Amino acid sequence: MRAVIQKVEKADLAVDNQHHASIGQGLVVLLGIEDADTGEDIEWLAGKISRLRIFNDEMDVMNLSVQDVGGELMVISQFTLHASTKKGNRPSYIRAAKPDHAIPVYEAFISKMENESGCKVVPGVFGAYMKIGLVNDGPVTISIDTKNKE
């Protein structure tokens, strides 16, 4: 699994140009799933994101997690995170999981994020055309790959 995590003041999600959901302070998580992803990847990544200390404490130091600040999460499926640009100029998405594997993994990840973080988790719509408007706070943007554990 690959994730791009953005600390946000707020975020809005539109599906097919219709408002779908919004969050306040928290994290927008773009999630890329591949066929090799398992329950172990889900558990590790959900725990890591839930405990990631990237929110400022009273001393203005990034020392608090989304749990600590009572934030919200928006989780969006993002197959393009597994794009390969090694050959040519048109990305290949061959490593991205097909829906029959990706959808159950995506849904399990959302459920695990709710349990791990204790925060409100807003999902995107798998496979839909979406637009995300957000105010990146910091800006803080972090990428994580479960295969590298970083």
Query: Of 80, 85, 141, 146, which one is the catalytic site residue?
Result: 80
Rounded distance between C-alpha atoms, residue 130 and residue 11, angstroms:
13
Distances (CA, A) of 10 to 7, 19, 86: 9, 14, 35
Determine whether 85 is an active site residue.
Answer: no
Rounded distance between C-alpha atoms, residue 73 and residue 88, angstroms:
36
Give the β-pairing of 72-77 and 62-64. unpaired
Please identify every residue annotated as catalytic.
80
